[in-house]
Amino acid sequence: MSADETQAVPNDADAPPDVTGVLCGEDLERLAHSFPPFESQMADETRARLLKDKLKVDAMARTTEALRRALHAQVAQRRLANEELQKTCDAALIRAREEFEALVEENTERVEERLDALDERITALDVHFQAEKERINREIEEEHQRLTVMLKHFEVEFEKEKASRAEREAAIIAEMKIHEGEVAEHFVKESTVREAAII
C-alpha cells in the first residue's frame, strides 16, 4: 500500500469500533484495538520495501547508464583505433604499391637497357658476319681466279714441257740413230781390220 492510498483512507476508519453492549465485547475490543498497529506496520513495511526497490532500480539505472557510457566510450575508442589502423594500412598499402611500381619501373628500364645493348651487339654481329661473308667470298673468288690462272699456266707449261720433251726425245732418237750408225760403221771397220789382220 502506498503513502497516497494510506492518506486516502477516512479518519473514522482509524477509530476503534464501538462494541459496547455486544456479547464478548472485551475480546472484540482487544481484537479491534490490535488492527491499527498491524495496518501501520504493514504500511511502513510497504513504504520501506517500495523505497528499497526504488533505490535498487535507481542503482540499476545508474549502473546501466555507466555501462552504456562505458560501452559508448569503448565503441568510440575502437572506432578511432579502427580508423587509425585503416589509415596505417592504407598508407602502408600505398607505400608498398609505390615501391613496387618503382621497382617494376627500375627493372623495366634495366631490361630495356639490356635489350638495347643486345640489339646493338646483334646489329654489330650482323655487320661483322656480313663483312666476313663478303671477305670470305672475295677470298674464295680470288683464290679461284688464282688457281684458274695457275691451272692455265700449268697447262701451258705442261704443253710446252710436252713439246719440249717430244723435241728432246726426237733429238735423242736422232742422235741415237746417228750414234748407232757410227757404232755400226765403226764395228764394220773394226771387223774388217780384224779380219784383215787374221788373214
Residue with the three cell numbers 651487339: 121
- Which band of pLDDT confidence, cut at 50, 70 and 90, is reported for residue 27? low
- Residues 121-161 pLDDT 10s: 999 999 999 999 999 999 999 999 999 999 998 889 888 88
Nearest to residue 106, comparing CAs of 55, 114, 125?
Answer: 114
Q: Which three cell numbers stand for residue 185?
A: 760403221
Has this prediction a pTM greater than 0.75? no
Nearest to residue 79, comparing CAs of 71, 67, 89?
Answer: 71
Range 143-155 burial, b when 16+ CB lie within 10 A, else e? eeeeeeeeeeeee
The pLDDT assigned to 31 comes to: 60
Q: Which helix (H) or strand (E) holds 25?
A: helix 25-198
Mean pLDDT for the stretch of residues 23-47: 64
The pLDDT assigned to 184 comes to: 78
- Higher-confidence position of 69 and 182: 69
Nearest to residue 73, comparing CAs of 65, 84, 62?
Answer: 65
Average pLDDT of the chain is 80
